[in-house]
Amino acid sequence: MTLHDSYARFTPYELAFPARDLLDELIVGIEEEAGRRGMDSSDLNAFFTMERVDAFVREIQGPSALPETVHQYVALVFHAVHFTRAGCPIYLLSERIARHLVEDYWGGQPTPPEPSGYVQLPQHLFWMSSAGSDAPESIDGIFWVLSKRGMLHSLLITGLRPDRPGFATVPVQEAPVSEASSWVDAVVRDGTDDFSSQLPGGELDQLHSVETSGEVLKLLARFFAYISAVPDAIDTHHPSTNERVEPTPSALPFFRVTQDA
């Protein structure tokens, strides 16, 4: 199995929102409504109640969309809106750094480098069991949004594959970022090591699994702490112009986290 980490791959953001102008229009509408109603659009619960958001989602999903589908899509729109506002910061972890964060962690203060962003993991290194299926899915990355109240919202993205449309989203319960220092050393699983994998043959490629929300927060906190302690680990890259390579590259600039401690 190939573990790809040399450039940022085509992101779920680009797949789900190919028309950037529609998102820009939505953001203008959200800002207007938030000001008029005295709402905090960085609060996910408030975001769910916004009329402009509901109209946007209903137009795309259609009137017959199931409530669960609408709820999942609103969560994705929430992250897309704040990701856009932040300038679309993508942080690509190299395989070496990703393994370092899991196996031999050390770092500084776990403070998010941006109010919103997307950390893309090495392709096929991390896996998650998919709901209602025995087949595990490869994890592409994690969106995060830091609200004005200091709450961290995160959304895991799995199942991003070229042989099928779409992807799966796994929302993580919000948590106060003030507690992030305790996440980096937390023991989350009961009976097995955090991030350990039971995939058949997984030991050959030393694969990792994420099976709990706590592991998502732990991985994010360790990522935040690492780049806080080692800012020179971040290299700025422009998008690849070679669209014929696999996996398909992102058209967005990205930061690559490459150095080790």
Question: How high is the pLDDT of residue 177?
Answer: 98
- Measured CA to CA, the distance from residue 158 to residue 170 in angstroms comes to 8
Phi-psi region at 118: left, alpha or beta (left = phi > 0; alpha = psi -120 to 50): beta
Among 183, 255, 168, smallest CA distance to 220 is for 183
Q: In angstroms, what is the C-alpha Rg of the chain? A: 18
Mean pLDDT, range 115-130, rounded to an integer: 94
Of 205 and 121, the structure prediction assigns the larger pLDDT to 121
pLDDT at 121 over 80: yes
Least confident of 28-32, 111-115, 130-134, 172-176: 130-134
Question: How high is the pLDDT of residue 130?
Answer: 66
First to last CA, the chain: 26
For residue range 84-110, list pLDDT tens digits in order.
999 999 999 999 999 999 987 878 899
Side chain identity at residue 90, one-letter code: I
pLDDT at 176 over 90: yes
Q: Are 7 and 130 in contact (CB under 8 A)?
A: no
Mean pLDDT, range 216-222, rounded to an integer: 98
Question: How high is the pLDDT of residue 242?
Answer: 72
Among 107, 231, 81, 112, smallest CA distance to 176 is for 112
Least confident of 16-20, 158-162, 166-170, 254-258: 158-162
Question: How high is the pLDDT of residue 194?
Answer: 96
pLDDT at 123 over 80: yes
Q: Are 87 and 254 in contact (CB under 8 A)?
A: no
- Measured CA to CA, the distance from residue 90 to residue 130 in angstroms comes to 24
Question: How confident is the prediction for the chain on average, in pLDDT?
Answer: 92
